[in-house]
Amino acid sequence: MKIGTVEIPNRFVLAPLAGISCTAFRMLCKENGAGLIYTQMIDADLISQKTQHEVKQFLNIQEMERPVTVQLISSEKNVLVKAVQAVEQFADIIDLNVGCIEEDFLQKGCGASLLKDLPKLETLLRAMVDTTEKPVSAKIRIGWDNQHINGVAVAQLIENAGASALCVHGRTADQGYAGKVNWTIMRQIKGKVTIPVIANGDVTSYNDGLALLRKTGCDLVMIGREAQHCPWMFHEKPVDIKQQILRFIELYEQYEVRQSPVEVADHVFWMLRDFKTTEDTKKVHVITTIPRIKRYVNRLSSG
Ligand SMILES: Cc1cc2nc3c(=O)[nH]c(=O)nc-3n(C[C@H](O)[C@H](O)[C@H](O)COP(=O)(O)O)c2cc1C
């Protein structure tokens, strides 16, 4: 499977997850078999004002993560072009966020708002494609609301604008994360474009991912919230959750620029979801240093 010239080694993709996709988390997903890694969305306004050195530090992409898609969010062509120029040397693929439903971004005409302004969406994508040699993609929802499900038209526009792939979260913007994902629209989209299509939404296991591929006919499958709790769900082999968490902390200590105990505690708590213990794992949030969090994990009793 290729996106533009970029070879994707398997069909499983780590979703962009704002506030979650730190470098160590992305690396742990990669070690567990994710075939393509997305960064969290990056505000084009912010990144376009940074120096090259600052951009490199900010993205903090490690070679072992590749291929990596860097996701941008913007509704301003000139700002977006600058952001593409700022990230392109670090990215394998550059993606436009067309699905974000955060009010701040919607107000600015970004994210899912672009589903309601197709001429603007086309202008933005064409500008991205004209600016960089790297493959460009877009991540969409199936439409704004139930009365305006335009995913197929949006997908065709994205392909015609020169994008090399698209990802579809099978919900409307109005749905947020409620209700079910719409496999029918995802399947229709796949049938109407020739570029690779990534199906996304509600995958909770490796086999579930394979099922979504079958149901939609899509080329790749993207996993978000389940990976937050189980970065090891990109394969079927049994894992030792404690070892995975300790590996996360090791990667964090070695590669992360921020070294925030709060960030480590959050990830440890999320990854402990399926760890059977009688202890109250919320207590990890009161630990104030990374070495102590490591000791806490080591001592956690299972059962
Ligand atoms: C906490 C959180 C942060 C997210 N951040 C982003 C983001 O930065 N960019 C984006 O396109 N989607 C973002 N999403 C949406 C996910 O990438 C994905 O489309 C959605 O969660 C559905 O997939 P899932 O059911 O596998 O989680 C985010 C979702 C969550 C829950």
CATH number of 2-229: 3.20.20.70
Active site residue 167: no
pLDDT single digits (tens) 211-260: 999 999 999 999 999 999 999 999 999 999 999 999 999 999 999 999 99
* Nearest residue by C-alpha to atom 12 in ligand 1: 16
pLDDT exceeds 90 at position 39: yes
Marked catalytic residue, from 22, 29, 100, 230 = 100
Query: Which residue in the block uniquely carries the two structure tokens 């899912």?
Result: 112
Report the separation in Å between the CA atom of 17 and the middle of ligand 1, taken as the mean of its atom positions.
Answer: 5
pLDDT exceeds 90 at position 4: yes
**pLDDT computed for residue 8 by the predictor:** 98
pLDDT single digits (tens) 49-63: 999 999 999 999 999
**pLDDT computed for residue 233 by the predictor:** 98
Identify which of 225, 226, 228 to mutate to test ligand 1's pocket (most ligand atoms within 8 A of the CB): 225
Report the separation in Å between the CA atom of 14 and the middle of ligand 1, taken as the mean of its atom positions.
Answer: 10
Q: How confident is the model at residue 31 (pLDDT cuts 50, 70, 90)?
A: very high
pLDDT exceeds 80 at position 19: yes
pLDDT single digits (tens) 141-178: 999 999 999 999 999 999 999 999 999 999 999 999 99
**pLDDT computed for residue 80 by the predictor:** 98
Pocket of ligand 1 (CB under 6 A): 15-20, 40-41, 71, 97, 99-100, 139, 169, 200-203, 223-226
Please spell the DSSP secondary structure of 125-185, one letter per residue.
Answer: HHHHHHH-SS-EEEEEEEESSTT---HHHHHHHHHHTT-SEEEEEEEETTTTT-S---HHH
- Which whole-number Å values give the CA distances from 96 to 58, 117, 180, 184, 283, in the listed order? 18, 14, 24, 23, 38
Spatial distance between the Cα atoms of 127 and 191, rounded to a whole number of angstroms: 26
Report the separation in Å between the CA atom of 179 and the middle of ligand 1, taken as the mean of its atom positions.
Answer: 15
**pLDDT computed for residue 303 by the predictor:** 75
Q: Residues of the chain with pLDDT > 70: what percent?
A: 100
Evaluated on CA atoms 36, 4, 42, 254, the torsion sign reads: positive
C-alpha Rg value of the chain to the nearest Å: 19
pTM over 0.85? The answer is yes
Contacts of residue 24, defined as CB under 8 A and 6 or more positions apart, other chains included, come to: 248, 249, 251, 252, 255, 256, 267
Spatial distance between the Cα atoms of 163 and 92, rounded to a whole number of angstroms: 14
Q: Contact 284/268 with Cβ under 8 angstroms?
A: yes
Q: Residues of the chain with pLDDT > 90: what percent?
A: 99
User: Domain locations in the chain?
Assistant: 2-229, 241-299
Q: What is the mean pLDDT of residues 293-297?
A: 97
Task: Please give the mean pLDDT across all residues of the chain.
Answer: 98
Q: What is the mean pLDDT of residues 115-131?
A: 98
Report the separation in Å between the CA atom of 259 and the middle of ligand 1, taken as the mean of its atom positions.
Answer: 24
**pLDDT computed for residue 302 by the predictor:** 83
